[in-house]
Amino acid sequence: MKAVRFSRFGGPEVLEIVELPDPRPGPGQVRIAVRAAGVNASDWKKRAGLMDEDLPQTLGYEAAGVVDQLGEGVTDVAVGDRVYGFSPEGAAQAELAVLSHYAPIPPSLDFAEAATLPAAVETATRALDQLGVGAGAVLLVNGASGSVGGAAVQLAVERGARVIGTASPANHAYLRSLGAEPVAYGEGLAERVRALAPDGVDLALDVAGSGVLPELIDLAGGPGHVLTVADFEGARKHGVTFSRGDSGRAVHALSDIGPLIESGRFTPPVVRAFPLAEVAEAHRAGESGRVRGKLVLLPG
């Protein structure tokens, strides 16, 4: 099968499309013919050598496609079913991928739209669960217009929370459409938030990792009310919880999101798709920081 791989660290130019052996699903897993695979910021961090030291490396932790092989003990899906989910080996940007956690693709979504969801909804759900976001809470989401931020806004609104979200002014109308009250990020953030919530907020979620944890701590009344999924060093420095997937994934989100999508209560992010062979261009687009929505790769 064709797959994305790199054998040295560096810029997007190190990415290659190579031939690799077809993967086989283990017990409880399924293999899919990949129709779309998500691209995330962790991909270019890995490519730059900021995460894993081993070489060579494949890429891709989320994908959508059609089941073509079942692992031992799998009875909840059949060959030919449309599913989406997580690749445990980080090798989803390929023609075939093994999924360890998966769910049926909501009927109204195409493959590219489905591939935008696994990492975003799992990360957002895990963060909201760990923060204890519920009805009546006032939640501040820093970085609310990205795929994870947008998911967090919608899921928090669904839980009955009041959501204030930071974004550039160009994305404020988008945040309003998701149910959030937008504020501009940057200098003066705390004052702008207090104009909307004079007593501060109950909880704060940092998705952007933009160095604003001290302001979030002040607004939320202490580090115990703040969680980040993007600023590991800041979390350690300021005593804030850093949430990561290996601390217990909220994989139930894959199944839970379907009814919300079908009832119109959750809207997936805008898709920007690239052919698998143009993975380097996808990385350049993502690293530019000017893409709203979610990047996906289409193997065929």
Q: What's the CATH number where 78 sits?
A: 3.90.180.10
Residues in the chain: 300
What is the reported pLDDT for 247? 58
Distance CA 98, CA 221 (A): 43
Distance CA 115, CA 111 (A): 6
Q: Is 87 a domain residue?
A: yes
Per-residue CA distances from 103 to 88, 120, 165 (Å)? 15, 15, 29
Residue 233 is part of a domain; what is its CATH number? Answer: 3.40.50.720
Based on the fold, state whether residues 285 and 230 are members of the same structural domain.
no
Based on the fold, state whether residues 71 and 20 are members of the same structural domain.
yes
With 0-12 / 13-18 / 19 or more C-beta atoms within 10 angstroms meaning exposed / middle / buried, residue 42 is middle
Q: Is 253 a domain residue?
A: no
Q: Is 84 a domain residue?
A: yes
Write out residues in the chain with pLDDT < 70, as ranges: 245-247
Based on the fold, state whether residues 237 and 274 are members of the same structural domain.
no
Token reading at 67: 């089941």
**In total, how many domains does the chain have?**
2
What is the reported pLDDT for 122? 96
Q: Is 142 a domain residue?
A: yes
Based on the fold, state whether residues 28 and 72 are members of the same structural domain.
yes
Based on the fold, state whether residues 210 and 277 are members of the same structural domain.
no
Q: What is the pLDDT of residues 23-70, one digit of tens each?
A: 999 999 999 999 999 999 889 989 999 888 899 999 999 999 999 999
What is the reported pLDDT for 245? 66
**Residue numbers of the domain that contains 145:** 120-246
